[in-house]
Structure 1
């Protein structure tokens, strides 16, 4: 097995062990906890908080990916090309405000809980997915398009059978970027009562318990790395299936 694969498995095993058996790590964290204070976060199960954290990310990124991809398809069609500047402005709107500002604006409208965080993550995830999908669709070579036309494909068939499959690896990279950003950002949702690992960090700050802060921060970082590696493997598999060379992930604008 490659060293990278060993590191992935080690990260996954260590994260799973901490989530399922956190008491095993108490001796290492004890110096960070104040006297007579709990070392391991005990107000909720760490595994349940991690699952809620990931569910929050998935619930925001899936609709974000669908909308951003649909807009990319629209503006790469002759009938929708004129909407490219408007589409870029729309998907870029979410990143003009920090997520905390989006939360503050959303709470008076939808109340405390999950929805403000979903809105913030949804808006923040649009731009990387849109730009990668746009790059993938416009990057299909003219020779491939000409061959598809020569085979008598309709525009819809050409999109489904040629353009989307060839653009898929780059589209997955866009989802990968947005998902990692969302995993890292979702922690702030606990400031408005969303259930996430941010709850552990906030509890640690309120109680001046560095052990809680470290647990929440390291678990959030570990989940971000696991999601990054998992989606990277999916993108690599898509490239290998098409016989395409590996491409670096695009960076989110801003």
Structure 2
């Protein structure tokens, strides 16, 4: 009996091609110089030459990962607390706190943070952390407050305590929505992190800013293209994880190993 072979969709092929091109460009950027040279003037370099592109990319991703992880820990903790009986009264305050990042744009946060803590990665981390709170908090809150009543009633019926219900039932069922919030936060921060270079953080924004200052469209294109491809790949990777979590039976994810 022959098994049908699943062929990759055109979208997946394009993403795979983009990933391969990105890897090739970061490892051997000089190979792409002839393609970018028409975008330069007066013999300017076609490839960014004020730093290593691979190193800048890794530093950019590290900054985004640190800020998103910190935002996830704080936002999920707050969502858990306000969905408990003892913390329900703090829901309005929590919503006000997580909305700070959306009320004040990252540029404004940087402007306020730099005089207090100086230049570098620290003010950028603060800006990205605040900007990434809202999506994770709201999706986690939605996941924890829209659980099937029958499931929760059954958990109470078998004698589970509040914390047992949280760890074995509520969080596993809410996990797909939590990952969705994490995906939005990470992708937003990936693009927003470029502004960190205006205050001395090592990000891909350096490439874009250098291109704007020297009127070198090749620099602007390669900096923007790297960020854009990374955002698409990160979005797809987290969306894949989210789909797998949705398909996985909740009972299997929340089963007691004992």
2:36·2:218 contact (CA, 8 Å) conserved in 1?
yes
Q: Deviations over 1:35-92 (max 9, x none)?
A: 2211000111111100000000001010100000001001111111111111000000
TM-score (normalizing by structure 2): 0.92
Alignment of 1:102-181 (within 5 A): 102-181=109-188
The equivalent of 2:36 in structure 1 is 29
1:210 has 2:212 as partner: no
Instruction: Say if 2:231 is the partner of 1:224.
Output: yes
Gaps of 5+ in 2: 1-6, 252-258
SS of 1:234 mapped into structure 2:
helix
Structure 1-normalised TM-score? 0.94
Tell me what 1:251 maps to: none
**Counterpart in the other structure of 1:248:** none
Distance across 2 between alignment mates of 1:174 and 1:84? 18
Query: How many pairs are equivalent?
Result: 244
Looking at structure 1, the residues matched to 12 and 143 of structure 2 have their Cα atoms a distance apart, in angstroms, of 27
Residue segments in structure 1 that go unaligned for 5+ positions in a row: 245-254
Are 2:172 and 2:250, in contact at CA under 8 Å, matched by a contact in 1? Answer: no
Q: 1:101 aligns with which of 75, 98, 108?
A: 108
- Select the structure of larger CA radius of gyration: 2
In structure 2, what is the Cα distance between the partners aligned to 1:12 and 1:6? 10
What are the superposed Cα offsets for residues 85-126 of structure 1, whole Å, 9 maximum, x if unpaired?
A: 110000001110111111010000110000010000000000
Q: d(CA) in 2 for partners of 1:86 and 1:132?
A: 17
Match of 1:239 among 218, 243, 246: 246
Answer whether contact 1:166 1:242 (CA < 8 A) is retained: no
1:2 to partner: Cα distance = 2.8
Aligned 8 A contact 1:72 1:133 in 2: yes
Give structure 1 regions of 4+ aligned residues with deviation exceeding 6 angstroms: none
Once the two structures are superposed, the pairs formed by residues 190-205 of structure 1 within 5 Å of their partners are 190-205=197-212
CA RMSD of aligned residues (A): 1.2
3-state DSSP of counterpart to 1:39: coil
